[in-house]
Structure 1
Amino acid sequence: MMKTFSNAITDLQLTRYPISSKDTLQAWDAADEYLIEFIAQSAKSWQNPIILNDQWGALSLTLHQKHPTVISDSFLSHQGIIHNAQVNQIASADVSVLTPLSELSESYDLVILKVPKNNSLLIEQLTRLYPYLSPNTTFVSGGMIKHLPPTLIETLEQFIGPTQASLAQKKARLFHTEVNTGSAIKKSALSSYKFTFLNQTLTAYGHANVFARQKLDIGTRLLLQHLPSLALEKAQHIVDLGCGNGVLGVCASIINTDASISFTDESFMAVDSAKRTWQKRFPNRQNVQFIVNDCLQGITTEADEILCNPPFHQQHTVGDQIAWRMFKQAKQKLVTGGALTVIGNRHLNYHMKLKRLFGNCTLIANDRKFVILRATKSL
């Protein structure tokens, strides 16, 4: 829903993305307002700002006249910024939107960091950014107090320099960091671990913002135990929806070596991780595609099997709206007789949503915490 964002610099019309008439949440928070207030009150005139984790454009579009660079791992955030720029008649060239995996090539005199939920992503972003900073760089971070990691100041001081916290304002807080030459500590951002499937030892890779980047999560482990029983051998096209590091799709490909496989996620880091996991096991197979998009948008062919371990939060917003969108798109993309297999926490009651949508839902397996559900698309 489009709402007016009036701040210390300008007024913008902003909406969250994907656009939904049922979404009543605003596309900014008090931390965005606090950061913009700091910029507006400063006597400095920056020439080359960079903004990290601007979710829908509240920061970057407010500062568009300074031609900021924006770093975000979310495809939806990229699309939200582009859409909101068009609504506000801001030229696309005014804001450069990159992924966390993009190479940086110039120095920045202003860093605005919207503190991410994931501390591993925070460290990854700081270590990548540090070589492009100088002691004259203004470095300001912000976030809602309830979402800030307890080790934030320690992390900023370890990787950038001395840090001071501001007073709280509307339950938000800013952090001002001095860039300390020589303070950066090199750290490997890409994790890997080994696991076994059908007597094969496999390697999974995970970038900093990927779920279960250091070990196999227990929900996926449960699904892998029952994956051979799903008759995947008959499928011509299998999709790993919300693929993360790609474990489900790679294991499905071991069962059915002839099927084409699609990995899709809205995280750039996730899709790159899935690609690395795939290439480690199948360095020469060609029947695969890796797509960064919103759920199944971008998948052009129908699927026989869709495997899904849906997230139940988007940044700090918790709910089942992402899973519901995944399920609806899965039904549209499946062939008649095709099936969606879902792993989820018991308390999320996915079986009710699947039965409502598909008209059927079978319990494949369960344990104390998780259920594996399968819904088939009928005529």
Structure 2
Amino acid sequence: MHPFDSPFGVLHLERYPPDASGRLRAHDGADLLILEEYADLRHRLPARPRVLVLGDQHGALTTALTSVADVTAYGDSELAARAAEANLRAAGRSASVRRGLPVGGDYDVVLARVPKSLGLLAAQLAALSGQLAAGMPFVAGAMTKHLSRGANDVISRYIGDVTPSLGRHKARLLRAAADPSRCADPPQPTTYEVPGRGITLTTLPGAYAGERLDQGARVLLDHLPTGLGSAAVADLGCGNGVLAITSAADNPQAAYTLVDESSQAIESARIGWGAAHPGRDADFALTDGLSDAEPGEYDVVLCNPPFHQGFAVEPAVAQRLLAQAHRALRPGGELYVVGNRHLDHGAFLRRRFASVRELAATPKFTVHVATR
């Protein structure tokens, strides 16, 4: 844990999942700058304000503010929500931590972290557009190196005119006063076809691979298993569901569970599954990979794992998912996984699985099947 000296006291925060290397902190300069801005705004707010927090990355904003405000936090990430909940418990504090797009309410101020996806930011703000009281303070922050000018346009479209701050703590703020007349249409999902399969995928704003089929997924699609019978199959880190939806077309009796830590991804997968397989059941889980699965619950796991968490590039993210797959597979069960060549998933898999075969290799990707 790294201490966070916030304007409302020193907190000891931890990421979720915990960072074993100790390199990654659960707070940054943008969190500190947002909290300093809130401290300056307090004289304009009620004694115990109702604060809406959007996209808190690890719970730094939510945990700090609960000492001086009633906090409701919304975010797309299950991992971020679990981090916030764990840090609140550790601090002996409470707040309402919710998953998904925000719901309008009777708030006094909105504080937001600008997410990596401006489409997600637009979806979050569209959900609030026209529902915030006139003049309500809105403050969004990000590390300067991650802040694009497009964020100004999104906030201006849905909330009000933007006034950028000067840089401090290597971060910047985008300030606005809510204008109820800003009621632009919400961003629309994107759709595209799985080549040669007659399957249409839908991707909501903020979900991975929103513009086109991911290159790694495209390579793995040619090596998905068939003849699975009534197997229990998990799509681990499903995104818009491309692997499960395509696999299910070739395995009509198999039972599928699609899991992701992004609420926008899970809703995208649900829409795509319903369009491709009307009347066929599947399970959808907004959760931390297969951490909640029973040991040996699945016969097959399909996975195109990420190697980043938010803005941080972290190969351990993929390795953690592959370890979860090993635990969740029955003896003899199989993991089908694609990854960038430089990540060398094969070496990691060989240390854990009974056997590993390379099914395909391109200049950029490798596909392996690992047997439990």
The TM-score range, normalised by the shorter chain, is over 0.9
Displacement of 1:267 in angstroms is 1.1
The Cα of 1:359 is off from its aligned counterpart by 5.0
Whole-angstrom CA distance in 1 between matches of 2:98 and 2:30 = 22
1:136 Cα deviation from its structure 2 partner: 1.9
Structure 2 counterpart of 1:297, from 291, 294, 302: 291
**1:112 to 1:8, Cα distance in 2 relative to 1, 3 A:** same
Does structure 2 retain, via aligned residues, the 8 Å contact 1:140–1:175?
yes
Quick one: distance in 1 between partners of 2:209 and 2:329? Answer: 27
Match of 1:319 in 2: 314
Equivalent pair of 1:264/1:295 in contact (CA under 8 Å): yes
Consecutive unaligned residues in structure 2, runs of 5 or more: none
Taking structure 1 as reference, are residues 215 and 50 closer, same or farther at Cα in structure 2, changes over 3 Å only? same
Task: Kindly report which structure 2 residues correspond to 1:98-137, keeping only aligned pairs within 5 A, or say none.
Answer: 98-101=98-101, 104-137=103-136
For residues 139 and 297 of structure 2, the distance between their equivalents in structure 1, rounded to whole angstroms, comes to 47
Matches within 5 A, 1:212-223: 212-223=209-220
Q: 1:1-379, aligned counterparts within 5 Å?
A: 2-42=1-41, 43-46=43-46, 47-64=49-66, 65-91=68-94, 95-101=95-101, 104-197=103-196, 200-227=197-224, 230-234=225-229, 236-286=231-281, 288-300=282-294, 302-358=297-353, 360-377=355-372
Conserved? CA contact 2:192–2:200, under 8 Å: yes
8 A contact 2:101–2:127 mirrored in 1: no
Aligned equivalents of 2:227, 2:292: Cα separation in 1? 23
* C-alpha contact (below 8 Å) 1:232/1:252 kept by paired residues: no
CA RMSD across the alignment: 1.8
Q: Where do 4+ consecutive residues of structure 1 move more than 6 Å?
A: none
Instruction: Give the 3-state SS of the residue equivalent to 1:68 in structure 2.
Output: strand
What CA distance in whole angstroms lies between the structure 1 residues aligned with 2:9 and 2:297?
Answer: 45
Query: How much identity, in percent, do the aligned residues show?
Result: 34
Deviation of 1:83 after TM superposition, in Å, equals 1.0
1:290 alignment partner, SS class: strand
Q: Distance in 1 between matches of 2:274 and 2:189?
A: 15
Cα separation, 2, equivalents of 1:127 and 1:160: 9
Q: Structure 2 length normalisation: TM-score?
A: 0.93
1:232, distance to aligned residue in structure 2 (A): 4.6
Report deviation, 1:190. 2.6
Give the match's secondary structure for 1:357.
coil
C-alpha displacement of 1:123: 1.1
Gaps of 5+ in 1: none
Question: How many angstroms apart in 2 are the aligned matches of 1:225 and 1:21?
Answer: 36
- Whole-Å Cα distance in 2 between the matches of residues 276 and 76 of structure 1? 23
Which deviates more, 139-148 or 22-31? 22-31
* Of 2-11 and 77-86, the range deviating more from structure 2: 2-11
Q: Relative to 1, partners in 2 of residues 1:21 and 1:372: Cα closer, same or farther, differing over 3 Å?
A: closer
Aligned-partner SS, 1:375: strand
What letter corresponds to residue 219 of structure 1 in structure 2?
G
Change (3 A) 1:121 1:34: same
Distance in 1 separating the partners of 2:89 and 2:72: 17
Change (3 A) 1:67 1:224: same
In 1, the alpha carbon distance for the partners of 2:222 and 2:24 equals 39
> Which stretch of the first structure deviates more once superposed, 32-41 or 365-374?
365-374
In 1, the alpha carbon distance for the partners of 2:160 and 2:335 equals 49
Q: Which range is displaced more, 256-265 or 42-51?
A: 42-51
Distance 2:120 2:142 in 1: 15
In the alignment, the residues of structure 1 paired with residue 201 and residue 58 of structure 2 have an alpha-carbon distance, to the nearest angstrom, of: 31
CA-CA distance at 1:225 after TM superposition: 2.1
TM-score, normalized by length of structure 1?
0.91
Mapped contact 1:240–1:248 kept (Cα < 8 A): yes
| Comparing 368-377 and 182-191, the one that deviates more | 182-191
Deviates more, 1:276-285 or 1:154-163: 154-163
Amino acid at match of 1:224: L
Do 2:165 and 2:174's aligned partners in 1 also have CA atoms closer than 8 Å?
yes
Give the total of aligned pairs: 367
